[in-house]
Structure 1
Amino acid sequence: MTNSEIYIYILIMAGVSMMIRIVPLTLIQKQIKSRFVQSFLYYVPYITLAVMTFPAIVNATQSPLSGTLALFVGIVAAWFGASLFQVAVSCCCSVFILELFIL
């Protein structure tokens, strides 16, 4: 791969990234009044984050079993009102204990 090819790829990537941001701004100039579209756009970032995060939680450990257990421990801790730090610590401890003693 030559330097000129790399610059062409970077320019194409920059152009696509800009078009993704510019086209909606130019096509949609009025406020969106549809409740369905508004709610859809509201939840898109959360869904995207969940789709990227949940597989990583399970696959980041040595065994999928410990990752799955950590996911359930985190869900239960968050359900009972634990802070983000407490949820993270409980998940890390559950993975550490499971992989240290059981696996």
Structure 2
Amino acid sequence: MKHDIFLYILVMTAVTLAIRLLPLTLLRRPIKHRFLRSFLYYVPYVTLAVMTFPAIIEATQTPAAGAAALAVGIALAWYGASLFQVSAACCFVVFLVEFIFVS
């Protein structure tokens, strides 16, 4: 039973390394296909959005507070506010909405 954990860790390490190293070894030339380049350009942004969106809604006491903060954050980022300004405003919106609705 104790050796199973080490086997699981070994398999997980092999899979992780294979996922990261295979593209580096197989793709040595620059990618010229326009669709593939544009697809790969947006992958980090989509991954970040998929990871953070559920946390935005579920991290607050009420989903309305998370949704309001998300709307304010998108609006401020759209108009060029800095990352600190956006995060501070989102925290303030969550505090304000939860103070109004939870109290």
TM (norm. structure 1) is 0.91
Q: Residue 55 of structure 1: CA displacement?
A: 1.5
The one of the two structures with greater contact order (alpha-carbon pairs below 8 A, sep at least 6) is 2
Pairwise CA distance, 1:88: 0.6
**Separation in 1 of the partners of 2:27 and 2:8?**
29
Question: How far apart are residue 29 of structure 1 and its match?
Answer: 2.5
Amino acid at match of 1:54: F
Residue 22 of structure 2: aligned partner: 23
Aligned counterpart, 1:99: 98
Following the alignment from structure 1 to structure 2, what is the Cα–Cα distance between the partners of residues 26 and 87?
40
**Residue in 2 that maps onto 1:14:** 13
Partners of 1:78 and 1:53 in 2: CA distance: 16
SS in structure 2 of the partner of residue 33 of structure 1: coil
Amino acid in structure 1 at the alignment position of 2:43: V
Unaligned runs of 5+ in 2: none
In 2: Cα distance, 1:73 partner to 1:63 partner: 16
Give the share of equivalent positions with the same residue, in percent.
57
Root mean square deviation of aligned Cα: 1.2
Letter in 1 for 2:18: M
Q: CA offsets, 1:36-71, max 9 Å, x none?
A: 111111111111001111111111101111100010
TM-score (norm 2): 0.91
Aligned with 1:66: secondary structure? helix
